[in-house]
Structure 1
């Protein structure tokens, strides 16, 4: 920002008055004036920051004014210190030609864009050689700045050193590109500028652009490589301030412009695009200033807790179906998306300029390659372009057509044409939205076989996608304020479409073997692609987005050209897109009633195939690490059981036959120890044989035989269980009340998260409990040291060698940011989900040992847990228990259910956590 435009500058800092105050302090204290001067300047610095913070509070979006004001404040402090040092500390006397110095602001400080706690980047430049006087002055200035508590990035170089180092170091070259005169010898500063452009910049433009883009790409990769991450880095993240700076640096380096506004004069931006540039920059600067003020430090990551507070500071309010923080973040992502669009246009123009320069040189100078024509479009250099400026205005359906051709032919879209599409996207009104040709083209693009993900993203960046499908426009840049979803709704959806395309092409067969086969057996691949597009289309409307989304599907599918059968399938898939994951992750898949209820809802193999594929891409598109082999195994198990039931129309075997079949497989697995099936297996009831997979039963029988042979009272076996992507922990002990919650507590104390648990008691009174365990990041424990720690912790917990409750309360949350969310605990009882058990589901904030605490309450309420299933959705956990009373009956009394609910809600509450932490 031009500092001359900062209003009421003297209210920020009055340099003239402070200069007089410093002179008075020198006169009063002489050589001992240093500390009083530091105190004076520190008070002025604090007062200036307070003034700027007050201005930002009154005008919360004034990012340019606030950041420019911070730079102005630092300028005046630096000038005061410089003048005091050369006048009172090291007066030069008769200065030689070498005793000159200029103070130059570089980096963000040089750009006059500083957040309250940004580093102060200064370059001290001296003539051909450094003199002792210059070194003394520079050192004195730096000590003053450090004593004021400023973080100073500094360099001290002669002009020759500046030129030499700038040639060899991209970071130095970029910093000097932002160089701004602050104080000192003006002629020296101007000479430095001339030498920088003539000796460093000239002839290196293309190299600089290449290196800056490599640097940018590496930064993006390091920070998640998406501008739609739900906790973005305002400064360095994709679509953030640094991307805008990169555009400015490149434009300045190539065209020698002095300000971003001059990028319009050299043809890199239109006036409208420059206004977008300034609007995005101003908003992000304001957000960054708020971050620094709230945290009191140089903080650039827009974390969940900061999002809520900044949304309030910037006067965003709740609306129906969308909270203030979600509206604030949606606006943030709209700006980030705009930055991405500007970047693409800008860099493509730069690339063309270089290409034209190359074409004018060498052997092929004057030779022009003629573009080929494709359906009326020009194709040249792998890019497709509109043939004229009014191409889209003459027929707005072409706004859809060009993206469809780009996808089917594997072409990029020319930047000037992207600019035209952006400009003319407003031409897409109801007549175009309902045009059969436009919809057929869109459906061809959506279900394209090359790379629909990339082209749909371009379409979204140009504003065409949201105009053509207004329901999609409503979720554009919409954030889901939770720790489970990594991306905005539109980005999540486009990624899911890309994953579906990759599964269809066989690129993800290893991770999704069933889906890779099933996708070639669905009746309508285009219906599946439309279902993926629409599955989250109604988020942010207030109400169940699945139900509302089904209504949207019934409206949109006929418009897209789907027939009645396809429309009915898509609407069902959208309404039930969470059914399969909820069943697989929250219910006992060995309970016949689970499969029966699921099949009643699904009704057909065609629905089941489509739902399996949709569920897989939906989970995987949530973000890195959300899909794992454990989830794949559970979904596969549910699919196989449901498919068998749908295909045969009944359960293949009764209980007795199922147990016999399982025993036969286990005997085969045990090979020369097959006698254990009869010898040890006789102590295990039918429920055990039905519930556990064959490989776990084999392990349990061997462990039981060894433990009883050694007369062990406690046997703990831990091993990496590759089939489930987890660690299997099997505990055999004399059964006694509270065994389950104590084992769970021991596992939690060892740093493990229980994702599944099955509890059994043999006819001889021994408990055989199997747990699947992962670390807080969702990975299994493998190392012997880790497995040993789990065994020791369980043993200590069962022997009462440790107090579980206070020890567990001290364990920090794996992700402490969860405290930024309000998660109201909820308890759901279901006596219809199982024929034998009451199913209790508890939803609450995820925290250390939640399962242990809930299990203890169930024990104290005299309930027996038969199995437990744990699912985490970011900050929210859903723990499901299959229980009976002490007589093996379901819990049906309303008074008893109310009592259990109260106990579980209390155990899951934030208040209870706080009480335990204070112990």
Structure 2
């Protein structure tokens, strides 16, 4: 492989003038040489950055320029070291490996060098190698290096696939060129002139492990450009395997060897050019070696690459949409490549493997099996009858078969023909069969999506393919999120998630129409990225699509209702007081039937869980279960034997049996607490509260607050329980104390006993959104709260610290919604703002300053967004008047804006 070339000598010298830098090095003393080289490297990077800013799509040119710059720096360092040591007589070759060898380097990539020496010359040449490396390290350059002779290179290549891969792309940079060429000839003869299936298998296994480590999805919203699934490394892996197994020497060789068609080769080139441009821009934006395309860089790079806004889509969303389309193209090309590899080597590249393999099907309707995988008998089989484009995947789902990569390639080629059968009842029935298949529909739908058939058959779904949701809450693109949700639904139906979702698993058997639920999951986010309310627009789409799929009028109406209301249950559970009768009444009135309630629960569960790792937890499970039980009770009316008062009595009886207190003691405890307490808190918390109260009151005459902190591992949080004489501003004091200790409140239940004592239960977690497992840290929280409560003066509000760079990429304008009729006895106020430290305490201070009392607080976070809901009364214990509500609204907006200003100033 030759070094990168430039059209004009001036082009090279503008990056680095090796002769001029060499003359400065010759005149400088030893201590100044490193600084000269470092300045040359920095100047060269600046020139490459300037050129890339003028032609932002030419990432490969920037990568070649960087490799040229690295070559010159290495040569200058070697010459300076050699001259200082008096030019040792032994020969030595400086060889670039990996990206350095390919002549493609991102601006802050590591340099990978091999110091190739004659046999037995290691000791003689060690001082020269060390002196060269010393100069390179003085530039703060990370240098991967090895010192080997030719025999060692061959032996290491035989033993270690990564060494062989690196030397496969080796390139002479400086020194004894003949030594390198002799070694390279021996390497090619030993390794590249024969097919090595073990190498192919090892590289595929290495790729699979890398994918698993990076999240195993090419649709992660913060992808790794280099190592992520669908990224540059996947293209490089194809090149390595093709070179080893199929004697492909360059990208154009993919066409010459009939591995890719001309159109497929153009897709390969387009993806590689794009990813190199993104990677180089990312390095320059970060000013360091950075491969993860985080939110904090996406806006910058979208701007650098001249993406502009369109109606309903920001510039960054358009940029990331194109990114994921290229990642999808890499996946498609990998399938095509594996099909060719399979045919030529007779080896199975099992990329498209279903988790199960059932039996040999008795009827294939013209399709065939190729080594156990579903395939087609000829290249025109699908085009002859376009309904087969859907039937291919329906058969795979029905029989539990893999789809052969050859069939995938032909399906992708002929995908546009599915337009002809979009309204065909048979095609729609086959599609519905795939969608509602109990056994892994997500796997087959993902194949349909990768082939382009899914988005063609359902054009509204095609609009969300590779559609990014630019926020810190969603982990995947819209299409990947949807397909994962469908897979989770099928897993619940199979009973595989009964431990995590026992209620949903049980309810599946009670559904009147399971296909309603599957179609609703498919359509719930289908209108994302169109502007406006995606739930309302999605419901309109459902009214059009469901009849086409074969659903009757009643099923269509239910699907549309579910899509319109798919966020209702999660928002009610997380943002409202579900022990408040008005909350349950309003929710039940919206749902209207037990069947809708069952469907909505399961849609909410899979939608939440498919957002990404860590979004589903036991706290959300508990809230949804409580809301479901309360709403079902109200909807079923007389069909349940227990009403509100009966439920309270039952809970009190359960707690009484747990405590085994004397009757008089128990009656006093039960009488002092309000009804809402018995409905709001779990039995285990109520028992802990009762013991805490008893212990506190055993201290005769001691009115000091009692604060305990207990780990709640199932909730991934810590419970803080406070029993204290009630006082004005108590909730603010507690919030400020916890904020000062670095804790974030995720839920707060505030109760006032009939004798004027406060009993508050709060859930908190640390900055990593985990529980405080260490007892010492929990004790620190207790001391912070005690200090805040007992302090004579009101604690100062916590300062809003600087935002993390990822969070700073988003702009969220604070908003305050006052809902006077959401509760019978309190005013409900919802605040939407950027999530940041100290926000809740600042909002609580604003409420206290206005003279109002907090009865419960419910804190929900969605990535960078916080939604805090408060149930309030005024100083007289009544709902807020219109004037009071307006003044409070202004104060809360001011509190959020004040924190934002502090952050900007910081």
Q: Give the TM-score normalised by structure 1.
A: 0.92
Which of the numbers 133, 136, 141 marks the counterpart of 2:132? 141
1:22 aligns with 22
Distance 2:755 2:794 in 1: 30
1:11 aligns with 11
Shift of 1:625: 0.8
Which of the numbers 359, 383, 387 marks the counterpart of 1:397? 387
Which of the numbers 466, 489, 496 marks the counterpart of 1:507? 496
Closer, same or farther: CA 589–6 of 1 in aligned 2, 3 Å: same
Aligned length: 894
Shift of 1:185: 2.3
Distance 2:16 2:856 in 1: 77
Closer, same or farther: CA 2–408 of 1 in aligned 2, 3 Å: farther
2:335–2:408 Cα contact (<8 Å) kept: no
Shift of 1:161: 1.4
Distance 1:188 1:81 in 2: 20
Shift of 1:5: 5.5
Distance 2:44 2:56 in 1: 17
Closer, same or farther: CA 862–85 of 1 in aligned 2, 3 Å: closer
Shift of 1:292: 1.1
Closer, same or farther: CA 106–397 of 1 in aligned 2, 3 Å: same
2:353 aligns with none
Query: Secondary structure at the residue paired with 2:869?
Result: strand
Query: Secondary structure at the residue paired with 1:153?
Result: strand
Query: Secondary structure at the residue paired with 2:346?
Result: helix
Distance 1:774 1:649 in 2: 41
Which of the numbers 61, 67, 83 marks the counterpart of 1:65? 61
Query: Secondary structure at the residue paired with 1:730?
Result: strand
2:117 aligns with 126
Any residues of structure 2 matched to 1:599-638 within 5 Å, and which? 599-638=588-627
Q: Would you say 1:906 and 2:894 are equivalent positions?
A: yes
Query: Secondary structure at the residue paired with 1:374?
Result: coil
Q: Would you say 1:896 and 2:884 are equivalent positions?
A: yes
Query: Secondary structure at the residue paired with 1:453?
Result: helix
2:352 aligns with none
Any residues of structure 2 matched to 1:211-226 within 5 Å, and which? 211-226=202-217
1:817 aligns with 806
Distance 1:856 1:25 in 2: 64
Unaligned runs of 5+ in 1: 359-369
Distance 2:458 2:858 in 1: 39
1:831–1:838 Cα contact (<8 Å) kept: yes
2:41–2:69 Cα contact (<8 Å) kept: yes
Which of the numbers 394, 399, 407 marks the counterpart of 2:397? 407
1:838 aligns with 827
Q: Would you say 1:292 and 2:279 are equivalent positions?
A: no
2:224–2:231 Cα contact (<8 Å) kept: yes
Q: Cα deviation per residue 1:645-702 (whole Å; 9 max; x = unaligned)?
A: 1111699777766654543333233234554331333333444445444443333233
Distance 2:485 2:17 in 1: 62
Any residues of structure 2 matched to 1:332-371 within 5 Å, and which? 332-355=323-346
Shift of 1:546: 0.1
Which of the numbers 439, 454, 477 marks the counterpart of 1:450? 439
1:11–1:48 Cα contact (<8 Å) kept: no
Q: Would you say 1:875 and 2:869 are equivalent positions?
A: no
1:677–1:701 Cα contact (<8 Å) kept: no
Closer, same or farther: CA 705–556 of 1 in aligned 2, 3 Å: same
Which of the numbers 152, 155, 162 marks the counterpart of 1:161? 152
Q: Would you say 1:417 and 2:407 are equivalent positions?
A: yes
Closer, same or farther: CA 804–208 of 1 in aligned 2, 3 Å: farther
Q: Give the TM-score normalised by structure 2.
A: 0.93
Closer, same or farther: CA 25–906 of 1 in aligned 2, 3 Å: closer
Q: Cα deviation per residue 1:65-98 (whole Å; 9 max; x = unaligned)?
A: 1111111222233334445555675335xx5xxx
Q: Cα deviation per residue 1:830-882 (whole Å; 9 max; x = unaligned)?
A: 01111111000011111113222111111111111111111110111111010
Closer, same or farther: CA 134–418 of 1 in aligned 2, 3 Å: same
Shift of 1:456: 0.6
Closer, same or farther: CA 376–899 of 1 in aligned 2, 3 Å: same
Any residues of structure 2 matched to 1:317-336 within 5 Å, and which? 317-336=308-327
Shift of 1:202: 6.0
Query: Secondary structure at the residue paired with 2:414?
Result: helix
Query: Secondary structure at the residue paired with 1:91?
Result: coil
Distance 1:335 1:191 in 2: 40
1:753–1:773 Cα contact (<8 Å) kept: yes
Distance 2:45 2:904 in 1: 37
Query: Secondary structure at the residue paired with 1:70?
Result: helix
1:502–1:508 Cα contact (<8 Å) kept: yes
Query: Secondary structure at the residue paired with 1:887?
Result: coil
Q: Cα deviation per residue 1:437-491 (whole Å; 9 max; x = unaligned)?
A: 1111101011112211011111111111111111011101111011100000000
Unaligned runs of 5+ in 2: 350-359
1:797–1:804 Cα contact (<8 Å) kept: yes
Q: Would you say 1:915 and 2:906 are equivalent positions?
A: no
Closer, same or farther: CA 193–595 of 1 in aligned 2, 3 Å: same
Distance 2:16 2:671 in 1: 96
Query: Secondary structure at the residue paired with 2:509?
Result: coil
2:789 aligns with 798
Any residues of structure 2 matched to 1:44-59 within 5 Å, and which? 44-59=40-55
Shift of 1:233: 0.9
2:14–2:47 Cα contact (<8 Å) kept: no
Distance 2:508 2:17 in 1: 76
